Amino acid sequence: MSESFRTLIHKIAIAHDELQLRLHYMDAAGELFACQHWSIYLHDSQGQHTTIDIKGLPDSFIDYYQSVGAAIDPIMQYVSENHAPAHEQIIFTEVDWKQSQLYQSGCGKKYDHEHIMTGPIVGRGQLIGTVHFARTSGTPAFNTVDLMHLSALCAHISAQLAFLRTEQEFRRSQKATCLTPRELQIASLVANGLTNAEIAAELWISQNTVKQTLKKIFRKLNVTARAEMVAKLQLIC
């Protein structure tokens, strides 16, 4: 396991974007932890969208977990509060786990999650994602060695994700600073809803100057419309 663990850590460290990081994780994590089901949930840098990659389970599981499981999952609650990995035996006795609301509602009985383990992905002091593992009936429970490996894996994912997002923010800021002060001024007036004629009057320039300046801004930002320009500037400024 140590060799496969080192290989995965290396692949995470050289991932050039979040997609590649997720792909490397999904390709290796199941074998690494001897799981039949595994997934990764990542919130975007604005916390508005969540990307979910999952293996070994139907899409219906995502709907089940989001609508039912998340609210009754004490393992996830532990991970959220402590920013530390956990499996069911940290929270429950074996008997209590089988009788728990989470197990009985479908996690265990319907989707055959005999044993589950969850780890945190953190950034700037916040939980920005999680990784999940499940073993099916007839397999051994997760143990302290699994938790140690998961803790290390989550630390590496968190660190690389922080690097990739910082790099992405830098590239965005570089795009924004490529605009001249006059271009930023005109873009700001467009964002405030002014027409070309109103911008020209406001800045004491011709409408043609406004039009040509907007064309330059569109080229620099690789957009084709005013609304698209405003939306992109909101993301990168």
DSSP string, 103-120: IIIIITTTT--SEEEEEE
**DSSP assignment, residue 73?**
-
For 28, the token pair is: 């290796």
Q: Please report the pLDDT score of residue 146 as a whole number.
A: 96
In order, the DSSP letters of 205-228 are --HHHHHHHHHHHHHHHT--SHHH
Report which residue type is found at 161.
L
Per-residue model confidence (pLDDT) at position 221: 86
Q: Which residue(s) pair with 51 in the sheet? A: 42
Q: In the numeric block, which tokens belong to residue 187? A: 């873009």
Residue 168's pLDDT is what? Answer: 78
Quote the pLDDT of residue 236: 64
Taking only the tens of pLDDT, the chain with its 237 residues reads: 578 999 999 999 999 999 999 999 999 999 999 999 999 999 987 777 899 999 999 989 999 999 999 999 999 999 999 999 999 999 999 999 999 999 999 999 999 999 999 999 999 889 999 999 999 999 999 999 999 999 999 999 999 999 998 887 777 666 666 788 899 899 999 999 999 999 999 899 999 999 999 999 998 888 899 999 988 887 765
Residue corresponding to tokens 């419309």: 225
